[in-house]
Amino acid sequence: MPTREPTIREMPPPPHIVGLQHFITYAEIDEILRSRSFRQGSHQESQPFFGRSLLTIDGDEHFERRRLEAPLFAKAALEYYEHTELIPLIGKTLEECRDNRGDDGIVRADLCVLLRTMLARIAAATTGIDGVDTPERTTAFREYVEQLGTGATVEWSTEDHDEVIRRILAVRDDFDRDFFASSVARRRALIEQFHQGEIERDELPVDLITMLYLHWNDDWDEGLPIREACLFLVAATQTTTHSVPHLIAHLDEWFDAHPEDRAKVTDREYIKRAAHEALRLHLPSPALLRIANEDVTLSNGKTIATDERVACLFTPANRDPNVFGPDAGEFNPYREVSSVKPWGLTFGGGEHICIGRTLVTGLSARTDNDEGTDGTLVNIASALYDAGIEIDPDDPPAYTEASHHDAYGRFPILLTKL
Amino acid sequence: ECQGVGYCERVAPRVFRLGDDALSHVIDATLCPSRA
């Protein structure tokens, strides 16, 4: 049987943060992210994709943009996305897997591809992309989002960065032609009808594109909507596609060591705890950069000069034994942490904390004390266990070689109950 | 019948106040980045 790669790896810092001052403890990174003495310093190379998007603006401009987009993540909106756009497509995607039954009667699939298909509708719904409604269009859309994600994280790419930017900007032009332009045109026509009094406000779609054109700011350039839309499409899918394979790999190991827990795959609270551990240990954004607005001395005495760019390394911070206990580097679904969120810094911190966090963790995360949604991770993982997911013993998962991320490139699975 | 960003105070100043401890406090705001 082929050997499987380890679930926990030591990842060297990527080239784009070499030479910067690194911060690796939970406390100092938390202090930097919350501080008003710093501004966004990440995504310098990916400006063609994210320039002046929510991710790269600060201060009043950030407040106004976040205020404009916040309704997309209100409780009612999250419930709609989960129950109307996510859960049905999870079931449909698994149903379509039956077509991949081998001669031995077993259904096989690549989990990395499955996940992007399952998330296609929820990404399209939050962003406002029409026409993701047939298997062919869903496949085309899924492939666009995957490629746009390569551009969005160009800093982490192992390819020539200029070539990646050139290639993905051309892909974005194709995406504009095939999906984006018609989606914008339909919404602008509806907004015009609203302004003419022909339709009511609540007849307008609740999605990013509608919000941007309904509240258009003349300071924006005409390319901003597609940059903001690409950010949403990538952000709506990236954390889940990154984390679910890690979750499955960890639970597979955990069940080997703790066979008494195997029956708990039907317990959504157990899956939620395990998902939080997978999020903590494997970060979709393992490092973020910040620039000091002034000379700063942190609580621990470390100093940062005005305009100095520093790197916050989330992976070691999320394995900080002072916060997560002496076994912080290990996966443990029974871990109890009292002073921080169970996923640590995975969604960032301060004003740039991930706007879509509740899409992933749901509003009933342990620290939310709220009924409502379970989020993408729990819904997808639970459905996979219901379908009898097993890691293919003859074709073990492989990490990606296209980037410095701690991510799987392929994750062959069996679905034994389909 | 919290990251201390302070956006809650900007939209509901009669209910929230950002304290000297860099945390928002209820003195009697979907927008909160940390949904706290």
Domains of chain A: 15-415 (1.10.630.10)
Closest residue in B to A73 (Cα) is B30
Q: What is the pLDDT of residue A43?
A: 85
Q: Is the Cβ pair A33, B7 closer than 8 Å?
A: no
Q: What is the pLDDT of residue A275?
A: 98
Enumerate the β-bridge partners of residue B16: B26
Least-confidence region, from A23-32, A82-91, A368-377, A407-416? A368-377
Closest residue in B to A365 (Cα) is B35
- The alpha carbon of residue A26 is apart from the nearest alpha carbon of chain B, in Å, by 14
Closest residue in A to B22 (Cα) is A34
Count of beta carbons in the 10 Å neighbourhood of residue A17: 21
Q: Is the Cβ pair A66, B33 closer than 8 Å?
A: yes
Residue B35 has what DSSP assignment?
A: -
For residue A365, what pLDDT band results from cuts at 50, 70 and 90? low
Sort out which chain A residues have CB atoms less than 8 A from B31's CB and list them. 66-67, 70
pLDDT in tens, A44-57: 889 899 898 998 99
The beta-carbon neighbor of A34 closest among B4, B10, B11 is: B4
Q: What is the pLDDT of residue A366?
A: 42
Sort out which chain A residues have CB atoms less than 8 A from B34's CB and list them. 353
Mean pLDDT value across residues A239-256 = 96
Residue A417 amino acid letter: K
> Average pLDDT, whole number, for chain B?
92
SS3 A367: coil
Q: Is the Cβ pair A368, B22 closer than 8 Å?
A: no
For residue A370, what pLDDT band results from cuts at 50, 70 and 90? low
Higher pLDDT, A273 or A413: A413
Q: Is the Cβ pair B3, A352 closer than 8 Å?
A: no
For residue A35, what pLDDT band results from cuts at 50, 70 and 90? very high
Among the listed residues A206, A204, A235, the one whose alpha carbon sits nearest the alpha carbon of residue A359: A235
Closest residue in A to B6 (Cα) is A351
Mean pLDDT value across residues B4-32 = 94
> Average pLDDT, whole number, for chain A?
93
Q: Scan for tokens 């009669």, then name that residue.
A: B14
The beta-carbon neighbor of A67 closest among B22, B31, B35 is: B31
Mutation choice for B interface testing from A75, A353, A355 by most B CBs within 10 A:
A353
- Where are the strands (E) in A111-151, listed by range? none
Higher pLDDT, A363 or A201: A201
Least-confidence region, from A203-207, A364-368, B26-30? A364-368
pLDDT in tens, A69-78: 999 999 799 9
Q: Is the Cβ pair B33, A353 closer than 8 Å?
A: yes
Residue A98 has what DSSP assignment?
A: G
Q: What is the pLDDT of residue A3?
A: 78
Cβ atoms of A116 and A249 within 8 Å: the answer is no
Q: What is the pLDDT of residue A134?
A: 92
Q: How far lies A383's CA from each of A81, A365, A376, in Å?
A: 17, 18, 11
Per the structure, the complete domain to which residue B14 belongs is given by 2-36
Mean pLDDT value across residues A8-29 = 91
Higher pLDDT, A294 or A371: A294
Sort out which chain A residues have CB atoms less than 8 A from B8's CB and list them. none
Angle between helix A135-152 and helix A120-127 axes, rounded to 10 deg: 70
What is the total count of domains within chain B?
1
For β-strands A21-23 and A309-313, DSSP reports them as parallel
Sort out which chain A residues have CB atoms less than 8 A from B36's CB and list them. none
Count of beta carbons in the 10 Å neighbourhood of residue A367: 15
pLDDT in tens, A321-334: 999 999 999 999 99
Cβ atoms of A36 and B6 within 8 Å: the answer is no
Tokens at A354, concatenated? 């991930």
pLDDT > 90 fraction of chain A, expressed in percent and rounded = 79
SS3 A27: helix
Is residue A232 scored above 50 in pLDDT?
yes
What are the residues of chain B with a beta carbon less than 8 Å away from any beta carbon of chain A? 3-5, 7, 10-11, 22, 30-31, 33-35
For residue A397, what pLDDT band results from cuts at 50, 70 and 90? very high
What are the residues of chain A with a beta carbon less than 8 Å away from any beta carbon of chain B? 33-34, 63, 66-67, 70-71, 73-75, 349-353, 355, 357-358, 363, 368
Is residue A313 scored above 70 in pLDDT?
yes
Higher pLDDT, A338 or A250: A250
Sort out which chain B residues have CB atoms less than 8 A from A363's CB and list them. 35
The beta-carbon neighbor of B3 closest among A34, A75, A355 is: A34
Is residue A371 scored above 60 in pLDDT?
no
Is residue A368 scored above 80 in pLDDT?
no
Mean pLDDT value across residues A251-265 = 95
The beta-carbon neighbor of A358 closest among B5, B11, B35 is: B35
